[in-house]
Amino acid sequence: MPRYLLVKLGLLSREKAMSEWMQEEIRLFRGLSRGEFHQMAEWVVEHEMWPQRRKSVMAELEAYRHVGARIVLSSSAYQPIVDAFGSQMAADAIGSSLLYTQDKVSGVELPINAYQYKAAHIKTRYGPVQILAAYGDTASDIPMIEMSQEPVAVFPNKKLRRVADARILIPGFCGMLYTFEPRFLAGLCPFAH
């Protein structure tokens, strides 16, 4: 039975399905050298991802940077892709690490950078910092965005929107907001030094 149906029927968690999918996808790149994969990642960012960036997002990031915030891009994407995008915007980058055997792509390190691991990787890298704001677009971003002072769901998928809607209705909870304004790309976490 296709993985998508197993997830829809509740027989397979989204987290496990995402992990399995990324392990299968990376097989397409097995045997590429580290340099070749990085070259591919830079091409994808330069020709596909960067042209689609939202200029309003970049302006808001610059405003955060101007007041001394550090910008961190945290994504489940493979680390070289996150690195390439992060370097375009002068941000630290946390992605899913690749495994190499004799300098050739051989797999993806588990757990992938999603769900609770996204939050854990930020805490591991930066320690006990105050996260001013965190933005996400899928349920896999919830643990990360909940650890910030201003959790924001941007262009949320159905599951994240349900969570955001439910939390807004709880009296006294200043928690999760969602917006359809193009403010941030998923996984951007500006925080003070």
Domains of the chain: 3-192 (3.40.50.1000)
**pLDDT, position 1:** 64
Q: What share of the chain is helix, strand, coil (3-state, %, to 5)?
A: 50, 20, 30
Residue 115 to residues 93, 102, 125, 145, 192, Cα–Cα distance (Å): 16, 30, 16, 10, 23
Tens of pLDDT, residue by residue over 93-129, are 999 999 999 999 999 999 999 999 999 999 999 888 8
Tens of pLDDT, residue by residue over 134-163, are 878 888 898 988 888 888 777 788 888 888
Mean pLDDT, to the nearest integer, of 31-37?
Answer: 97
pTM for this structure? 0.82
Neighbours of 20 (CB within 10 A): 13
Tens of pLDDT, residue by residue over 41-72, are 999 999 999 998 877 767 877 887 888 888 89
Contact between 72 and 91 (Cβ < 8 Å): yes
